[in-house]
Amino acid sequence: MSNSYNATTILSDPASTVAGRQVTLSTPERMANGINFAFATGNCENVISQAFADRCFITSASSYTEMAEWRVPLVSLDHDEIEYIVNYRTHGSGSGCNIRFTIDVNGTTVTSILSLSSTTNAFANNNAVITFPVGNHYYATVTMEIETGSGAEVEIFSVMGYFKRIISPIPVGQKNQYDASTFVTPFGTTRTTVNNAFTSRFAHNMIDDIGELRKRFRSLLSWSGVYSTSSTLYPNAEDAATSQIYIGVGDINSLFAYPLLPSGFENLSFDKLELHVKAIGDVDFTFFGQSLSINQASDTTISWTIFDLEIDNGELSTVGDTRLPYYKATFDATNENQDNLVSLSNARSQRYPPASSGTGTANTIIALTLIGV
């Protein structure tokens, strides 16, 4: 019995099992194939997507230095391999340049090194396989560090990361998506190719599986400030010294994501839309119609805060050109954001890192990720 899938036969006809129609094997066969396909491949797409222009992401760091950090949703506790692909070039001697990505799931970490050797525009990639710690997990934190050799500098143009899909067939046994106590049960497709009885077990597993897969998160927006840029080869003020570190009032209405909120979304009884925010100190801000507050131990405390966003159905979709109810989620043009996000009248005098109190670096957002089902 093989938990296989085939991308060409995942469309099952809902009209083939209604009154007056003879039920044949093709619909259950395609349902079994489709559920395996959905579990193995659903959301094996970008969980990190960020690009950089104007030499704003360039570094001459001589040892591994943290440059950026993202939150990423997991696909499932069986999708354990993440691949990072970076578009980059080196400057100067071009030697000894590496990126180190570290993925952290509740304290369990795996690093992967990308060696950067090209002095022209090129791609670098590497994978990491993580053994998930015991327990329930639905997100990871990915940190990017860079080191360069003597006389060399690294310029980053874009970064992406994704979890690899499970190649058909899915290994035997029940699978955990995020919760160690609930399961997705892949289907043995060889048992659905004949006109055998439609069993109670088939229906129970199918209903459970669909319910679990509806909970699978997707990355809708991944943004990190670029923390430790430096360059001696490009000393102009508009280059390395002025990377964006903090969310500012200019991000209102211009840094956005498109959550999909179809009919029935509001009736789902689990976390559906989460905003993960990395901040220094306390920040009150408004995002997607909701006033949110980060309260930390001190104004130099740096940590991630998770907000479970409620849906405001009064919001109107602004991207109807995709024919689906995608909504625009962004920092709203509110007084709260104008007052509290970094601006001309609320400037920071220092770059992070390190964190410093008061108007040095405190009370700022330095990374955020929006994930939704």
Partner 1 sequence: MLISTALSLLPQKSSCNNGQVLFGSAVSSMSNALNQLNYVKFLNRTNYPIMRSAYSYAHIVNGRNYMNTRIAESDGRINKGHTESHKLISATRLVSDWIGIIAQYESGTTGQDAGSSEFSPVIDVEIGLLIDSGSGYSQVAVVDYGIRFNSADSMMLTSETSTQYSQNFMIDSGYIIPSAVPTNVSPEAPRPLYIPNTVGSYQARGERMVFNISCSDCKLKSFTTFDLYRADLS
Site for partner 1 in 145-174 (CB under 8 A): 157-158, 160, 162, 165
310 contacts partner 1 (rule: CB under 8 A)? no
Closest CB to partner 1 among residues 191, 214: 214
Strand order in the sheet with 273-280: 218-224, 364-372, 273-280, 302-308
Closest approach, Cβ 31 to partner 1, in A, equals: 6
DSSP string, 147-162: E--TTEEEEEEEEEEE
Tokens of 240: 């390395």
Distances (CA, A) of 356 to 40, 65, 277, 287, 294: 45, 18, 19, 25, 17
The phi, psi pair for 216, rounded to 5°, reads -65, 125
Q: Which of residues 252-271 bind partner 1 (CB under 8 A)?
A: 252-258, 260, 262-265, 267-268
User: Regarding beta strands 302-308 and 152-163, do their DSSP bridges make them parallel or antiparallel, or are they unpaired?
Assistant: unpaired
The binder of partner 1 chosen from 55, 71, 79, 89 (CB under 8 A): 55
Q: Which of residues 7-36 bind partner 1 (CB under 8 A)?
A: 7, 10-19, 21, 23, 27-28, 30-31, 34-35
The binder of partner 1 chosen from 193, 203, 270, 339 (CB under 8 A): 203
Closest approach, Cβ 351 to partner 1, in A, equals: 6
Nearest to 96 by CA among 136, 123, 45, 59: 59
The binder of partner 1 chosen from 245, 279, 283, 355 (CB under 8 A): 245
Contacting range for partner 1; rule: CB under 8 A; set: 96-104, 105-113, 184-192, 335-343: 335-343
DSSP string, 72-87: EE-S-TT--EEEEEEE
Q: Which of residues 341-360 bind partner 1 (CB under 8 A)?
A: 341-344, 347-348, 351
204 contacts partner 1 (rule: CB under 8 A)? yes
CB 65 within 8 A of CB 119: no
Closest approach, Cβ 151 to partner 1, in A, equals: 23
CB 229 within 8 A of CB 52: no
Contacting range for partner 1; rule: CB under 8 A; set: 102-110, 122-130, 132-140, 298-306: 122-130
CB 246 within 8 A of CB 360: no
Alpha-carbon torsion, ordered 159, 259, 341, 154, to 10 deg: 0
Contacting range for partner 1; rule: CB under 8 A; set: 105-113, 136-144, 181-189, 319-327: 319-327
CB 79 within 8 A of CB 66: no
Distances (CA, A) of 266 to 98, 229, 260, 271, 312: 45, 42, 12, 10, 10
Closest approach, Cβ 135 to partner 1, in A, equals: 26
Q: Which of residues 75-94 bind partner 1 (CB under 8 A)?
A: 85, 87
The binder of partner 1 chosen from 4, 41, 189, 192 (CB under 8 A): 41
123 contacts partner 1 (rule: CB under 8 A)? yes
Closest CB to partner 1 among residues 26, 106: 26
Closest approach, Cβ 311 to partner 1, in A, equals: 13
Closest approach, Cβ 236 to partner 1, in A, equals: 8
